Amino acid sequence: MSEAPELIRGLEGVVAAETALCDLDGAGGRLAYRGYDIADLARRATFEEVAHLLWRGDLPTKAQLDAFSAELVAARPIPDGLHAAFRLLPKAADPMRALQLSAAMLGALDPDAADNSPEANVRKAMRLTSQLATAICTHHRIRLGKEPVPPAKDLGHAANFLFMLTGERPPAVNARAFDASLILYAEHEMNASTFTTRVISSTLSDMHSAIAGGIGAIKGPLHGGAGEAVMLTLKEIGRVENVDAFVEKALGAKRRLMGFGHRVYRAGDPRAAVLRGLAEEACRLSGEGMWFEMAVRLHERVNRAKGLIPNVDFYSAPLFYALGIPVDLFTPVIVAGRIAGWTAHLLEQYQDNRLIRPRGKYTGPPRRQFVPLERR
Ligand code: ACO
């Protein structure tokens, strides 16, 4: 037997690192980034301000924000080699694989590739945040057989994303809703993908390698992949009138309903409350109101039957759909927000590193004699 003392399945409740980034109150259903309530940030700040808050410790002044935004804008273009790599992928390739490829390739081509100093890592965090957004949109257009849309220097991060995706300048209301959703996704303490990035960096591997791993972790349907699954569920239901029968059948079959439940929030996910309002408005304005109505009814019925709460990925699904984001880009879009938090965590991890190396509880056979091949 190994000497590992206690098995904690799924590391539930285990505190794995100190962090000054995110104050998550699961019982109270509250969330703050560096002390600022998430609802205030989503309603009143921009993604750029939140990225500054996460990486540099405080909200920027106007002058700081201008300089910071200019740096992010300058970092938006992606290398020609990445365009070429996207053209080599099959058209049906999962956009999350293209994103993982992007992180690896941007790492290989990064001017600070061999430099793991704090200054270089802040530069990498900024480049990754701008470049992954461009990579998502570029790959999407290439897979559709369309020309990529170069970034627009005069647009903020959120509006520029929608512009690069569609080739059209988004209405201010859409850009604002998208900006708020990027903020809501930007950071969330020690979730599975952030933990993954911290594990990778704890070996003193580089930031791009850690991000490629984080992209792999967030893709699963129990994590960021749930948003896409929510939209597929809504499409499967098809009409508001079908919700009740769907819920009865799904729960009877013990089906896991995506977008519901959370490891830490038990009473409610505060991000879902903000996203619900954004989804309602976006669905109404786009004429896609039925998806919101269906989501609300599904929320009510599932909550009443099982006490499950909608998580961040629930109302973001009808919101993203109403904003014209293709369903298989929902998870890449989550990455476009979460990259700010991942990289902020990596800066913390490098600053006070200790190799993350837990133990396993051995359940195999006891020690036994080796038998040579000819006698087995
Ligand atoms: N649908 C149906 N039942 C559920 C759901 C769900 N979405 N979530 C939890 N339950 C039930 C489980 O069946 C279990 O019931 P039981 O005790 O009768 O067996 C109980 O609630 C506890 O569930 P666990 O899976 O043990 O709880 P855990 O803390 O591991 O799960 C998780 C958290 C993975 C998020 C889970 O709620 C889930 O699978 N949700 C759906 C996927 C999802 O939406 N993921 C996104 C999370 S947010 C994010 O990562 C961005």
Q: What is the domain-level CATH number for residue 201?
A: 1.10.580.10
Average pLDDT over residues 283-303: 97
Question: Candidates 234, 262, 265, 299: which one to mutate for ligand 1, based on the most atoms within 8 Å of Cβ?
Answer: 262
Structural domain total, the chain: 2
pLDDT, residue 2, reads: 53
Same domain, 232 and 85: no
Does residue 66 sit in the same domain as residue 212?
A: yes
> Do 116 and 256 reside in the same domain of the chain?
no
Q: Is 3 a residue whose pLDDT tops 80?
A: no
290-298: average pLDDT? 98
Residues with C-beta less than 6 Å from any ligand 1 atom: 10, 191, 222-224, 226, 256-263, 308, 311-313
Residue 279: which CATH number? 1.10.230.10
Q: What is the 3-state secondary structure (H, E, C) of the chain?
A: CCCCCCCCHHHCCCCCCCCCCEEEECCCCEEEECCEEHHHHHHHCCHHHHHHHHHHCCCCCHHHHHHHHHHHHHCCCCCHHHHHHHHHCCCCCCHHHHHHHHHHHHHHHCCCCCCCCHHHHHHHHHHHHHHHHHHHHHHHHHHCCCCCCCCCCCCCHHHHHHHHHHCCCCCHHHHHHHHHHHHHHCCCCCCHHHHHHHHHHHCCCCHHHHHHHHHHHHCCCCCCCHHHHHHHHHHHHCCHHHHHHHHHHHHHCCCCCCCECCCCCCCCCHHHHHHHHHHHHHHHHHCCHHHHHHHHHHHHHHHHHHCCCECHHHHHHHHHHHCCCCHHHHHHHHHHHHHHHHHHHHHHHHHCCCCCCCCCCCCCCCCCCCCCHHHC
Which residue has its alpha carbon closest to ligand 1 atom 18?
A: 254
Determine which residue's CA is closest to atom 3 belonging to ligand 1.
Answer: 256
HSE of 230, CA atoms in CB hemisphere, 13 A: 31
Residue with token string 């984080």: 214
Instruction: Establish if 15 belongs to a structural domain.
Output: no
How far does residue 12's CA lie from ligand 1's centre (Å)?
13
Whether residue 296 sits in one domain with residue 206: no
Give the list of residues 6+ apart from residue 312 with CB closer than 8 angstroms, or none.
184, 185, 188, 269, 271, 272, 275
> In the prediction, which pLDDT does 174 show?
97
Is residue 105 pLDDT above 70, yes or no? yes
pLDDT at 360 over 70: yes
> Between residues 281 and 288, which one has the greater pLDDT?
281
Query: Which pLDDT score is estimated for 123?
Result: 97
If asked whether residues 88 and 214 sit together in one domain, one would say yes
- Residue 110 bears catalytic tag: no
pLDDT at 302 over 90: yes
Backbone angles phi, psi at 75, to 5 degrees: -90, 0
Of these residues, 140, 262, 299, 345, which one is catalytic? Answer: 262
So what's the pLDDT on residue 271? 98
Cα–Cα distance, 198 to 300 (Å, whole number): 37
Query: Do residues 100 and 213 share a domain?
Result: yes
Please tell me the predicted confidence (pLDDT) of residue 167: 97
pLDDT mean over 249-266: 95
366 occurs within a structural domain? no
Of the pLDDT bands very low, low, confident and very high (cuts 50, 70, 90), residue 266 is: confident
Q: Residue 73 is encoded by which pair of tokens? A: 């804008």
Which residue in 189, 187, 192, 199 sits closest to 218, CA to CA?
192
Q: Are residues 264 and 169 in the same domain?
A: no
Residue 262 appears among annotated catalytic residues: yes
- Residue 362 confidence (pLDDT) above 80: yes
Domain span at 44: 22-173+187-219+336-351
For range 297-301, the mean pLDDT: 98
Span 338-349, mean pLDDT?
98
User: Is the same domain home to 51 and 165?
Assistant: yes
The model's confidence at residue 109, banded by pLDDT at 50, 70 and 90, is very high
pLDDT in the model for residue 267:
86
- For 145-167, write each residue's pLDDT tens digit: 999 999 999 999 999 999 999 99
Residue 179 C-alpha to ligand 1 middle, in angstroms? 28
- Token look-up 């921009």 returns 46
Whether 164 and 292 map to the same domain: the answer is no
Same domain, residue pair 214 and 318: no
* Res 5: pLDDT: 73
Flag whether 291 is in a domain.
Answer: yes
43-93 tens-digit pLDDT: 999 999 999 999 999 999 999 999 999 999 999 999 999 999 999 999 999
245 within some domain: yes
pLDDT at 116 exceeding the cut of 90 = yes
Note whether residue 90 is domain-resident. yes
| Nearest alpha carbon, ligand 1 atom 9 | 261
Q: What does the pLDDT read at residue 347?
A: 98
pLDDT at 129 exceeding the cut of 80: yes
- What is the percent of the chain with per-residue pLDDT over 70, rounded to a whole number? 99
